[in-house]
Amino acid sequence: MAMASSDADHGAFMERFELLPPESQQQQLPLHGLTFAIKDIFDISGRVTGFGNPDWARTHAPAAVTSPVVLATLAAGATSVGKTVMDEMAYSINGENAHYGTPINPCAPDRVPGGSSSGSAVAVAAKLVDFALGHAVDNRNLGEFISNNVPTVGKFINDFSKSKAPSVPALSVISYVMRCLQRSEFKANHAEWVNTVKPNLGPGIRERVHEAIASEDGPMDDFLALRSEFKSALADLVKDDGILAIPTVPGSPPKLRMEASALENFRARAFSLLSIAGLSGFCQLSIPLGVREGIPVSISLVARHGADRFLLNVAQELYETLKEETKKAWDSPASSL
């Protein structure tokens, strides 16, 4: 498996290659002329899917078939230009990789790029491609709404209400349940490989992987019931044409090589927001709004499960207005208080 590419591409790519769309009727296809990058979690026939880790790549055969989303994107006329770096085993949101290098955030080079689709995000932000494939492994009081409409939250809420850390207890419960389900699924899918191969994992990833494998599953019936209730409650809230507007993350992205405890604190707070879409299966889109004091700023829009096209259309319609309103807010005297 090739190492990540040079600084010329911000370290976004693991491998550079070209996958072309079908030759017939190219100019009539909706994505004709566009380029895209592929996260190292999607299969490409004849190539090893490395999952962000050299030992995974070493112990797995090349894929026999290409991932449907890659085939669909090629069939729509786009050209792939390579595979991108990701967090090992998609088990972090920092975007750092100890083996292939960490992609450089072009908007804030001294901060983490975010993950686990860090290379894909950087490739787009640096305008190396038109778009990239990634994946996510989450004026109403949303915390109160969840507490009132997701009954199973009550079984866990007391533990999070006592926390001294700034948080919304109901959202902390949602985050906790999503992470417990992720750990259970990760253990079921990968524990045998980890215990057999004993892969070399980077710092942070190593601890979380072994914690997941050693963890007890907990009350899975309650976790699954909460997920079902939460998805139903959100569906009732947004219906067919509603949108939730939320912060993408709870603050500035952490700096590179930040102390582990500070990174974990940011990760825990971030998951309270990321878990909204992550646990419900709703679609989420992050809209960049500019740079404030050297930090890129964005807002996320969330829509019902399966409403991806609707969400993209709404984002396209709102984009310029959101940027204008953001600039007005930043230019106002109140913003400096």
Q: How many domains does the chain have?
A: 2
Give the domain-ending residue among 100, 133, 166.
133
The answer to whether residue 1 sits within a structural domain is no
- Is the pLDDT confidence value at 140 over 50? no
Q: Say yes or no: 175 and 264 in one domain.
A: yes
Q: Say yes or no: 227 and 323 in one domain.
A: yes
Q: Say yes or no: 116 and 238 in one domain.
A: no
306 backbone φψ class: left, alpha, beta (φ>0; ψ -120 to 50): left
Q: Say yes or no: 159 and 263 in one domain.
A: yes
C-alpha to C-alpha distance for 318 and 32, rounded to whole angstroms: 25
Rg of the chain, C-alpha, whole Å: 20
Query: Which are the contacts of 187, defined by CB distance < 8 A and separation ≥ 6?
Result: 212, 213, 215, 217
Q: Higher confidence at residue 35 or residue 216?
A: 35
Query: Average pLDDT, whole number, for the chain?
Result: 86
Query: Strand 35-39 vs strand 79-84: parallel, antiparallel, or unpaired?
Result: parallel
List the domain range (segments joined by +) for residue 303: 142-336
- C-alpha to C-alpha distances, 41 to 10, 37, 117, 193, nearest whole angstrom: 20, 12, 9, 16
Q: Say yes or no: 202 and 314 in one domain.
A: yes
Three-state SS for 63-109 is: CCCCCHHHHHHHHCCCEEEEEECCCHHHCCCCCCCCCCCCCCCCCCC
Q: Say yes or no: 114 and 78 in one domain.
A: yes
Q: Say yes or no: 77 and 120 in one domain.
A: yes
Q: Per residue in 46-99, pLDDT tens?
A: 999 999 999 999 999 999 999 999 999 999 999 999 999 999 998 888 899 999
The answer to whether residue 2 sits within a structural domain is no
Give the domain-ending residue among 82, 111, 133.
133
- Is the pLDDT confidence value at 335 over 80? no
What average pLDDT does the segment 229-233 reach? 91
The answer to whether residue 322 sits within a structural domain is yes
Tell me what pLDDT residue 55 has: 96
Q: Higher confidence at residue 160 or residue 309?
A: 309
Q: Per residue in 1-49, pLDDT tens?
A: 444 555 679 999 999 999 999 876 667 888 999 999 999 999 999 999 9
Q: Per residue in 242-299, pLDDT tens?
A: 988 888 888 888 888 888 888 888 888 888 888 889 889 999 999 998 888 888 889 9
The answer to whether residue 100 sits within a structural domain is yes
What average pLDDT does the segment 216-240 reach? 90
C-alpha to C-alpha distance for 75 and 159, rounded to whole angstroms: 49
Q: Per residue in 163-181, pLDDT tens?
A: 544 456 788 888 889 889 9
Q: Say yes or no: 165 and 66 in one domain.
A: no
Q: Say yes or no: 70 and 217 in one domain.
A: no
Q: Say yes or no: 99 and 27 in one domain.
A: yes
The answer to whether residue 212 sits within a structural domain is yes
Q: Say yes or no: 187 and 294 in one domain.
A: yes
Tell me what pLDDT residue 145 has: 61
Q: Higher confidence at residue 137 or residue 134?
A: 134
Q: Say yes or no: 118 and 253 in one domain.
A: no
Low-confidence winner among 2-11, 138-147, 312-321 (lowest mean pLDDT): 138-147
* Beta-sheet strand order (sheet of 13-19): 13-19, 79-84, 35-39, 131-133
pTM exceeds cut of 0.85: no
The CATH code of the domain that includes 304 is 3.90.1300.10
β-pair partners for 133 = 38
- Residue in this structure with the two tokens 């700023």, named with its chain if needed: 297
The answer to whether residue 217 sits within a structural domain is yes
C-alpha to C-alpha distance for 58 and 39, rounded to whole angstroms: 18
- Is the pLDDT confidence value at 144 over 90? no
Give the domain-ending residue among 133, 157, 173.
133
C-alpha to C-alpha distance for 316 and 129, rounded to whole angstroms: 19
